[in-house]
Chain A
Amino acid sequence: MQIVINALVLGIMYILAALGFAFIFNMLGTINLGHGALYMVGAYLCYYLCAAAGINNWIAMIISAAVLAVVGLLLERVMFRLFLDNFDRIVMISVGIITICQTIANLLTGSKALVIPSYANGLTTIFGMSISNERLVTFGVGLLLLLATLYVVNYTALGRQMEAVAQDRLGAALQGINTNRVSAAVCAIGVGLAAVAGCFMGAYLGLSSSMGDTMNLRILMLVMLAGAGSMNGIIITGTVMGFLDAICQMAFAGNAGSAVPIIIIVILLLIKPKGFFGHDA
């Protein structure tokens, strides 16, 4: 039962981190390899706001998400808008960003084990099981943000504009949609969500300079597995990914625990390389 809780928490965090990546993938048709690095920056920022500046960690999380949202805006302006049709340049700039973020993280952490202070203490007993409040809070906030994002995507003007831009950028522009503004908004929301995921995961698993890489791989896999243009697909694959990770980490020792899920995903991708839920792009 504890596995189910862990899997759900992991899954919802994967989904949160992946949403921004998926937005960019769907709307701009390109991939942002730096997404994991930004997720890491969110976590580090939150840690230093809590530990060094002594701010309450919920406020620290909001600040870090807001800062990262601004970073997302900037990123859209200096990277995606300039090189929309040039995958090579975007990869280069992403690797530049990854290198800078990781180096800073390495310089800051060194060999220390940093953990963001817990968001909620104590245990709650539900149906005779005790579950740590931390997990419950993480899951609850994650679910809330996910529902909010789904609401924005499905029921607001911004969501409809996003869908229009994703389907046909030029056509959307002809209809009077400011495509640049929509992509900027999407980048800001996406990177901000990744930062929130980073803040929670930093409390759950601790900070390290490789946390971005680990998450990046997960994000890429679950977005690819869901396929282009599918939001519901990401929720399903994210949950599956969470369960795979939680179960395999219990069942296999050491590195095999991280190897098995990836091998399963690769096999699934070989069956359907363009994802299970998306339209054929």
Chain B
Amino acid sequence: MKQPVLKGKLSLLILCVLFFVLPLALNSRSWVDLFITIVVNMVGAVALRLIVISGNLSFAQGAFMGVGAYTAGMLAVYLNVPIWLSIPAGAIMATIVGLITGWPFARLKSVYFSMGTMFMGQALMLMISAWPLAGGALGLQRIPSLTSALSGVADVLHLKGYQACYYLIFLLALFCLVIMYRMEHCRIGTTLRALAQSEEVAASIGVNPTFYRLLAVGTSCFCMGLIGGVQSHYLTTISYSSYGMNTTLWIIMYMMIGGTGKFVGPLYGAIVISIVQGIANLLTSLSGSSNNESFVAFAHWLGANSAYTPFLTAAVLLVVAYLLPGGLVGIPDTIRANRARRAEKKEAAEIAKGGSK
């Protein structure tokens, strides 16, 4: 039963190398910022997919990211907890909240689970927004910055501050992704898929559905909390509105656009949509240091019209929804299916022609 080590993992490896090398090569803050966004979204989408393979769609992912971010931020702001403790604390807090809130919802199915988690997430974020210690409507400010905490490491490795931050986030994200990849490709992943097929059958052969569902939710929340915590230290100012319904919906969209069929799907979805959403910002800030006139003009035009970029993302969404049943990762399958259908039609037409002769 020994499989080739690289089978099916080549694209993951290429992505990994790209995300390691590119921020080093593209030595500018705006590029690195874009890469950080992509990596954060990747973790969000993959963490959501872990719940989705057990047959439920959670609408509370953004809120758990927020719990992680606020826990890490508030520990650092009010108790002066060092960064290397506050970030894991955020992850653990998100896990605890996820498990406590996930437990009553674990028995719900499909739409009821989605709606329950959606209200839960909204309630969590509104609670934070109404809490004066958490900064209220203004958000939490003056969180100790990751850049200054990593300045020593950055000096030793001859990296810029933001690059050091990127590599920390990258390593944490890689850690999350490896955990989730291993989880999906071992017995736990199979069990979760079995639960999605039929909870009764799975329970009848001795699987504890609640335990496995909570395991998926807990792991997912841990990853969300971890990445949220590190992001709060990177941004230094966080607001509850950036962890609300919109964020959650977009995390769901990254996953769905990429395709839920494979592990790499959400990664592609996060890359494509994050680039579409961030391209105007990126080009505008790049154009400041560029000498190419037409590029500068193009970047300015794009920046002036950046209010229209949501239309572009909506267009991507609709195209994927109507034309690509398997998401981006399912494009080869879709093409193959279309070709097969066309060939079948042709054959049928030829047979019909032959019959009429």
Interface residues of A (CB under 8 A from B): 25, 29-31, 33, 87-89, 91-93, 95-100, 102-103, 106-107, 213, 217, 220-221, 224, 252, 254-256, 258-259, 262-263, 265-266, 269-270, 273-274
Name the residue of chain A whose CB is nearest to the CB of B127. A259
The reply to whether A87 and B120 form a contact with Cβ atoms under 8 Å apart is no
The smallest beta-carbon distance between B226 and chain A, in angstroms, is: 25
The reply to whether A255 and B57 form a contact with Cβ atoms under 8 Å apart is no
B275 at the interface (CB under 8 A from A): no
What chain B residues lie within 8 Å of A31 (beta carbons)?
Answer: 111, 114-115
Question: What are 8 contact pairs spanning A and B, CB under 8 A?
Answer: A93-B318, A95-B252, A96-B314, A99-B314, A220-B119, A255-B129, A259-B129, A262-B123
Choose, from B149-157, B211-219, B284-292, B305-313, the stretch at the interface: B305-313
Choose, from B102-110, B165-173, B293-301, the stretch at the interface: B102-110
Give residues 251-290 of B contacting A (CB, 8 Å): 252-253, 256-257, 260
What chain B residues lie within 8 Å of A95 (beta carbons)?
Answer: 249-250, 252-253, 314, 317
The reply to whether A262 and B310 form a contact with Cβ atoms under 8 Å apart is no
Name the residue of chain A whose CB is nearest to the CB of B310. A103
Name the residue of chain A whose CB is nearest to the CB of B244. A213
Of B107, B111, B320, the residue contacting A92 (CB under 8 A) is B320
Name the residue of chain B whose CB is nearest to the CB of A104. B311
The reply to whether A93 and B321 form a contact with Cβ atoms under 8 Å apart is yes
A102 to B246, CA, bound (A): 11
What chain B residues lie within 8 Å of A107 (beta carbons)?
Answer: 307-308
B235 at the interface (CB under 8 A from A): no
The reply to whether A100 and B310 form a contact with Cβ atoms under 8 Å apart is yes
Of A92, A220, A256, the residue contacting B118 (CB under 8 A) is A220
The reply to whether A87 and B317 form a contact with Cβ atoms under 8 Å apart is no
The reply to whether A266 and B137 form a contact with Cβ atoms under 8 Å apart is no
The reply to whether A92 and B256 form a contact with Cβ atoms under 8 Å apart is yes
A263 to B127, CA, bound (A): 8
The reply to whether B122 and A224 form a contact with Cβ atoms under 8 Å apart is no
A sample of 11 more A-B contacts (CB under 8 A), given A87-B57, A224-B115, A270-B116, is A87-B110, A96-B314, A96-B317, A97-B314, A100-B310, A103-B314, A252-B130, A259-B130, A262-B126, A266-B120, A269-B116
B84 at the interface (CB under 8 A from A): no
B329 at the interface (CB under 8 A from A): no
Give residues 112-160 of B contacting A (CB, 8 Å): 112, 114-116, 118-120, 122-123, 126-127, 129-130, 136-137
The smallest beta-carbon distance between B151 and chain A, in angstroms, is: 36
The reply to whether A262 and B115 form a contact with Cβ atoms under 8 Å apart is no
Among B104, B116, B313, B314, residue most surrounded by chain A Cβ atoms (within 10 Å): B314
| Contact A88 B122, CB 8 Å, known A102-B310, A103-B311, A255-B129 | no
The smallest beta-carbon distance between A201 and chain B, in angstroms, is: 19
What chain B residues lie within 8 Å of A25 (beta carbons)?
Answer: 111
The reply to whether B112 and A259 form a contact with Cβ atoms under 8 Å apart is no
| Contact A266 B310, CB 8 Å, known A88-B260, A259-B130 | no
What chain B residues lie within 8 Å of A273 (beta carbons)?
Answer: 104-105, 107-108, 112, 116
Of B112, B130, B246, the residue contacting A254 (CB under 8 A) is B130
Of A97, A98, A274, the residue contacting B112 (CB under 8 A) is A274
Of B57, B104, B130, the residue contacting A270 (CB under 8 A) is B104
Of B104, B130, B252, B315, the residue contacting A255 (CB under 8 A) is B130
**3 nearest CB pairs, A to B:** A259-B126, A256-B130, A96-B317
Give residues 226-262 of B contacting A (CB, 8 Å): 245-246, 249-250, 252-253, 256-257, 260
A213 to B241, CA, bound (A): 12
The smallest beta-carbon distance between A220 and chain B, in angstroms, is: 6
The smallest beta-carbon distance between A86 and chain B, in angstroms, is: 9
What chain A residues lie within 8 Å of B116 (beta carbons)?
Answer: 224, 269-270, 273
A89 to B318, CA, bound (A): 9
The reply to whether A259 and B313 form a contact with Cβ atoms under 8 Å apart is no
A255 to B244, CA, bound (A): 14
Name the residue of chain A whose CB is nearest to the CB of B246. A213
The smallest beta-carbon distance between A4 and chain B, in angstroms, is: 25
A262 to B157, CA, bound (A): 49
What chain B residues lie within 8 Å of A98 (beta carbons)?
Answer: 249
Name the residue of chain B whose CB is nearest to the CB of A88. B256
| Contact A30 B111, CB 8 Å, known A254-B130, A273-B116 | yes
A259 to B121, CA, bound (A): 11
The smallest beta-carbon distance between B216 and chain A, in angstroms, is: 18
What chain B residues lie within 8 Å of A252 (beta carbons)?
Answer: 130
The reply to whether B111 and A258 form a contact with Cβ atoms under 8 Å apart is no
What chain B residues lie within 8 Å of A30 (beta carbons)?
Answer: 111
Contact with A along B49-70 (1 / 0, CB 8 A): 0000000010000000000000
What chain A residues lie within 8 Å of B114 (beta carbons)?
Answer: 31
Of A96, A255, A258, the residue contacting B136 (CB under 8 A) is A255
Contact with A along B312-336 (1 / 0, CB 8 A): 0111011011100000000000000
A96 to B107, CA, bound (A): 30
The reply to whether A258 and B126 form a contact with Cβ atoms under 8 Å apart is yes
A209 to B118, CA, bound (A): 20
